[in-house]
């Protein structure tokens, strides 16, 4: 377990590079341990600051990684630097590669049925050694216990949960205590990207720190949600001033 953390507005981010995360998570898999990973962007940090219960869930995760340049910049600002961005989609791909090498068991939960099926098809094609033990779409009754029963029975090594931020972390926190092993990670819209239904920003946009703008242009309906970003910047700035950093 990596212990080195950097706290940003109450959220404890793990001080680790992508390679270090993959290594440490692999250790958990080898030891058949449970592990809960949250990949948090500024929107998640702001939501946690508004909802006590959500903050509790996040603080109880094993690892919170910096999903988005906003978090990395905020850490720099607060003079508590994080080594690099460890985005959810990228980490999921690394775990799929790892699972392909070791024939690990993977379970997918979330997204619309057609998106999920396309994601399944692409995983089977690109990562043929992955043992895909189950896939369920994200439109179910919250009380539906057949999903967790299936996970208990199949004992996947990785459970990727794509129910959107908030919902996915709540689902994991509620259901993870019922299983023996497995790495649980909320992956937001990653199945949509994997299935090609949503495009990831090109490298140049990411390098210019404009991934958020690319996402906004693809999904203008996110405009309201994106107001969390300037609020996040303001709150971090206030903390910086308050602490005289």
Please give the residue ranges that form the binding site for ligand UDP (CB under 6 A). Answer: 110-112, 115, 138-139, 162-165, 167, 188-189, 191-192
Residue 239 to residue 65: CA distance in whole angstroms: 20
- Min dist CB 79 to ligand UDP, Å, is 29
- Min dist CB 241 to ligand UDP, Å, is 30
- Min dist CB 23 to ligand UDP, Å, is 26
Residue number of the CB atom closest to ligand UDP: 138
Which C-beta is closer to ligand UDP: that of 54 or that of 191? 191
- Min dist CB 184 to ligand UDP, Å, is 15
Q: Is residue 103 exposed (0-12), middle (13-18) or buried (19+ Cβ within 10 Å)?
A: exposed
Structure tokens of 76?
């720099």
Which C-beta is closer to ligand UDP: that of 68 or that of 156? 68
Which C-beta is closer to ligand UDP: that of 192 or that of 211? 192
Is residue 217 within 8 A of residue 191, CB to CB? The reply is: no
Which C-beta is closer to ligand UDP: that of 99 or that of 137? 137
- Min dist CB 147 to ligand UDP, Å, is 12
Residue 108 to residue 41: CA distance in whole angstroms: 22
Which C-beta is closer to ligand UDP: that of 6 or that of 165? 165
């Amino acid at each position: 377990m990596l212990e080195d953390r950097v706290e940003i507005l109450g959220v404890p981010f793990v001080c680790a590079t992508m390679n270090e995360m993959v290594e440490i998570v692999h250790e958990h898999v080898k030891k058949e341990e449970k592990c809960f990973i949250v990949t948090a962007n500024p929107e998640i940090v702001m939501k946690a600051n508004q909802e006590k219960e959500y903050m509790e869930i996040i603080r109880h995760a094993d690892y919170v990684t910096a999903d988005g340049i906003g978090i990395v910049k905020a850490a720099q600002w607060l003079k508590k630097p994080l080594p690099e961005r460890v985005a959810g989609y990228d980490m999921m791909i690394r775990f799929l590669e790892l699972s392909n090498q070791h024939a690990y068991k993977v379970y997918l939960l979330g997204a619309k049925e057609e998106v999920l099926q396309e994601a399944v098809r692409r995983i089977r094609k690109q990562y043929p050694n992955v043992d895909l033990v189950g896939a369920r779409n994200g439109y179910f009754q919250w009380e539906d216990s057949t999903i967790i029963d299936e996970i208990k029975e199949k004992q996947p090594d990785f459970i990727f949960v794509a129910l959107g931020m908030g919902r996915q972390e709540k689902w994991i926190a509620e259901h993870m205590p019922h299983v023996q092993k497995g790495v649980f990670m909320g992956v937001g819209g990653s199945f949509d990207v994997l299935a090609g239904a949503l495009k990831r920003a090109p490298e140049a946009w990411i390098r210019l720190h404009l991934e958020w703008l690319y996402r906004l242009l693809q999904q203008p309906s996110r405009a309201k949600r994106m107001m969390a970003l300037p609020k996040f910047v303001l709150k971090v700035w206030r903390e910086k001033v308050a602490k005289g950093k």
